[in-house]
Structure formats: structure tokens, C-alpha cells
Amino acid sequence: MTTRSEMASLDPPPVPSFDRQAPSRLIEALLVRVSLLALTWWVLVGGTDGWGFGCVAVVAIAALSLRLTPPARCRPRLRHVPGFLLFFLFQSLLAGGDVGRRTISPRLPLRPAILHLPLTLPPGPPTWLLMLVVSLLPGTLSTSLGGRTLELHCLDHGLQVKDAVVEVERRIARLFGCPPAPGDDG
């Protein structure tokens, strides 16, 4: 059971796992995805028109997405999304301020370096989110992912880059509901 769902978190997910999922989890995932897609449709259309097409499209896309990406063991938990979003917004504010300060300063205070950090997050979506968020953090930029080592470019090696990345990892692990377990990933 656990090994199979861990397999599902890797890409590409094996298609047969679609109908072997627990039904309750499938129904929950279907409801969440249909609501999100319906919300997107409402935003795109900008009102109450076109729900005939909308319903068909929403249901079709939700079914397709369930087939292609069945619910994994590590998936974003709705109750942790607002907290993560706030953290992210605050960090991007800091990042913009930081880079702005360095740009305007006549001395151009840059001390760039390349760093290699080992990752503890499971591969797949949690790692992708980490790389995206790290690129928008103050002074860091993901440059490549080799196995489970993230290569970073940082603007100033005096910054506590490592601590910041570990903090993001911890928050993403909580968001996805999977503990950061170092070691092999099955």
C-alpha cells in the first residue's frame, strides 16, 4: 500500500493505479479538483454565462486529471495553503526589496557563489515547488537538480541561504503532509 502510493508520487504515474485507489480518496480528490476548476471557469468567464460548456469542460478535465495524476500520498493540504501563501508573499516582498537595494546601491554589493544543498523532500511536486519558491526567495536561484542535490546560485554567500532553504523545505513538507525523511525514496 505505502510502496504503491510512493510509486504514484514519482512520475510518470502508472495508469493502472487509477482504479486501485481507495474510493473515498478518489471521491475527495474529484470534489476538490471539480471545485477548483469550476472556480477557474468562473474567473475566466467573468460571470454567470456559459455554464453549459463550463460544466462539461470542468467534469471532463477533472476526470482526465484524475486519470493522469491520481491523488498521491503527498498532496497539498487545503488547511495549510493560506499559511504557506502568507509566508511566500512576505518572502517575495523581502526578495524584491533585497534585490532592489543591491541594484540601487552604488557599490553594487554582490558576492555570488554556487552552493550545493542536499534535499530531504520527496521527489515530484514537493521538490518542484521547492525549486520554484527558492528562486523567488531573497538572494537565491535554483540552477539545477542533480539526483537529490539542489544546485543554487546565491547573490551573497554571507546570507544564511542554507537555513532559509531548510525552512522552506520544512514548510513545504507540512503543506504536503509528508515528513521530511532523509534516505532512500523507494
114 binds other proteins (CB under 8 A): yes
CA distance 172 to 164: 12
Query: Of 142, 161, 168, 178, which lies in the binding site for other proteins, with binding defined by CB under 8 A?
Result: 142
The nearest distance, CB 93 to other proteins, in angstroms, is: 6
Q: Angle between the 23-45 and 51-68 helix axes, to the nearest 10 degrees?
A: 140
CA distance 75 to 81: 11
CB within 8 A of 183, min separation 6: which ones?
A: none
57 binds other proteins (CB under 8 A): no
Contact in structure between 7 and 186 (CB atoms under 8 Å): yes
Select the span of 15-23, 73-81, 85-93, 172-180 touching other proteins (CB under 8 A).
Answer: 85-93
26 binds other proteins (CB under 8 A): no
Beta bridge partners of 118: 149
CA distance 109 to 117: 24
Select the span of 13-21, 50-58, 64-72, 125-133 touching other proteins (CB under 8 A).
Answer: 125-133
Query: Of 12, 24, 43, 78, which lies in the binding site for other proteins, with binding defined by CB under 8 A?
Result: 43
Residues interacting with other proteins, by CB under 8 A?
Answer: 39-40, 42-47, 89, 92-93, 95-100, 102-104, 108, 110-114, 116, 131-133, 135-136, 138-139, 141-147, 149, 151, 153, 155, 157
